[in-house]
Amino acid sequence: MERLQSQKSKVASISATGTTSTSNRSTSPICSPPALPQVP
């Protein structure tokens, strides 16, 4: 559960910036797709 919260926080930060979305996608493509549908 803690791990999920950590990822959610990271995604929220990236989602807020929007520009980091591209950088995050390249760094962690596995975290981007699953986080996108979970955040909204």
Q: Residue 32 in contact with residue 25, Cβ under 8 Å? A: yes
Higher pLDDT, 32 or 5: 5
- pLDDT at position 34: 53
d(CA 6, CA 27): 16
Structure tokens at 39: 């955040």
Structure tokens at 3: 């791990």
- pLDDT at position 40: 52
Domain span at residue 8 reads: 2-38
Q: What is the pLDDT of residues 18-39, one digit of tens each?
A: 554 454 444 554 444 555 555 5
- pLDDT at position 30: 47
d(CA 11, CA 25): 11
Number of domains in the chain: 1
Q: For the whole model, what pTM was predicted?
A: 0.22
